[in-house]
Amino acid sequence: MRSIPVSDAIRWVGAIDWNLRDFHGYETPRGTTYNAYLVRGTEKTALIDTVKGRFVEELLARVRSVMDPADVDLIVVNHVEPDHNGGLRRVMRAMPNARVVASRSGVAGVAEYHDGLEVESVGADDVIDLGGVSLRFLPMPMVHWPDSMFTYCAEERVLMPNDAFGAHMASSERFADEVGLDLAVEELTIYYANILMPLGKQVAKAVEKVVATGWEIETIAPSHGVIWRGETLGPLFDTYARLTAGETREKIVVAFSTMWGSTDTLARAVVDGIAAEGVEVDLFDLAVTPIAHLTRNLLDSRALLLGSPTLHHGMLYRVAGYLQYLSGLKPQGKLGGAFGSYGWSSGATKQISGQLEAIGFELPFEPYTQKYRPSTEEIAAAREWGAQYARAVKEMD
Ligand code: FEO
């Protein structure tokens, strides 16, 4: 299998997971990649990151296209999550002469994941000379695990930041300019929404930390998706600046689950009321919508309105599941609201409201709850209930 040049001394030797469709609950219709990089000096060669366990042979085949894996001198573990570290022991068997290094927290993580495996610690003061090229390290706790670390090759001006600046996207091309900037930025945004949203402040600080080093950067080579170089770096940094600032626009997301169509009818009325106020709105049926797609849409929206009928005194499980997903991502600075129908016992909208508040949504209006099939008057009331949210998000400018 081929390796792909990233710069004079660095080659991509990762794996392409074309058919991954679920990354711990985050749907990945385009699959993903597990990127690893071979940095070759005149005296030593380093492998930056490994891959998910079942892709080790693909990584080794790409390494063999340029050298004997047994001649690799160093393995850098930037992050211990199994999509990058799961194959470490098998890679080490093929590279028996390699030192293995990780951040201080990464050393503990490798030992815990790999039954006591001992590796060496590196930090911001360390430089590993490979002969003509060298590696520096920047521990990045909580971007996005405690062990996360960036690796930098000064001579090649290449930053390898692991999950930061990543995207779940399989492609035959390796660079953002090759797959097309619009697609690359959209996949970057989806990844940020579903993985990094609760860590916006830490990610912004990470970018500041890199800037403070004064490192010159011509290429950013993350561990998932495409590599960013040249003119794509500007849009990459601009996108991350917008995302970490939590930028939103006059937009509302309405999502619902329905039993017999009444909550669906209410949802459409709510959407109509929002649109009539001139505010952008998207409507999603949770029964058929990938939650990663919904969450990406929520990212730059100012309000989430969730609808569910009442079943057994509570909300439908798809609505509960999405609230659980959001409780980890903790969207900030957004309005929330609940609506839904019921037969003989209400309860869903109260339950949804409580959970939205617990997550951090502000609920400026009472939920809209309605019995049996919505009448003409109730549809009009739902429409007005949506319109008041539209007016509220316009005031958030
Ligand atoms: Fe791609 Fe946090 O692992």
Q: What is the location of CATH 3.40.50.360 in the chain?
A: 251-394
Report CA torsion sign: 153, 154, 160, 166.
negative
Angle at 391 between CA 389 and CA 395, to 5 degrees: 110
- In this prediction, residue 166 has a pLDDT band, given cuts at 50, 70 and 90, of very high
Q: What is the CATH number of domain 4-245?
A: 3.60.15.10
Q: Could you confirm whether 191 is annotated as catalytic?
A: yes
Edge-first strand listing for the sheet containing 228-229: 127-129, 134-139, 149-153, 158-160, 219-220, 228-229
Q: What is the mean pLDDT of residues 355-361?
A: 98
Cα–Cα–Cα angle for 375, 381, 386, nearest 5°?
A: 130
Specify the pLDDT at position 397: 82
Q: Is residue 49 among the annotated active site residues?
A: no
pLDDT in tens, 27-68: 999 999 999 999 999 999 999 999 999 999 999 999 999 999
The residues pairing with 362 across neighbouring beta strands, listed in sequence order, are 335
Query: Smallest Cα–Cα separation from 120: which of 74, 53, 164?
Result: 74
Distance 84 CA to ligand 1 centre (A): 7
- Please compute the mean of the pLDDT values over residues 159-172 and round it to a whole number: 97
Q: What is the band of 345 on the pLDDT scale with cuts at 50, 70, 90?
A: confident
* CA nearest ligand 1 atom 1, residue: 163
- Lining residues, ligand 1, CB within 6 Å: 79, 81, 83-84, 144-145, 163, 223-224
| Structure tokens that stand for 356 in this block | 């939205």
Domain with CATH 3.60.15.10 in the chain: 4-245
Query: What is the 313 CA–ligand 1 centroid distance (Å)?
Result: 39
Please answer whether residues 102 and 80 qualify as being in contact, where contact means their C-beta atoms are separated by less than 8 angstroms.
yes
| H or E stretch covering 171 | none
Q: Tell me which fold the domain 251-394 belongs to.
A: Rossmann fold (3.40.50)
Take residue 212 and report the two structure tokens written for it: 């403070």
Catalytic residue (one of 26, 34, 37, 144): 144
Q: Are 34 and 167 in contact (CB under 8 A)?
A: no
* Cβ-contact 80, 169 below 8 angstroms: no
Cα–Cα nearest to 341, from 310, 386, 376: 310
Spatial separation of the C-alpha atoms in residues 255 and 136, rounded to whole Å: 46
pTM for the structure as a whole: 0.96
Query: What single string gives the DSSP state of each residue in 36-80?
Result: -EEEE-SS-EEEE----GGGHHHHHHHHHTTS-GGG--EEEES--
Point out which residues pair with 125 in neighbouring strands. Answer: none
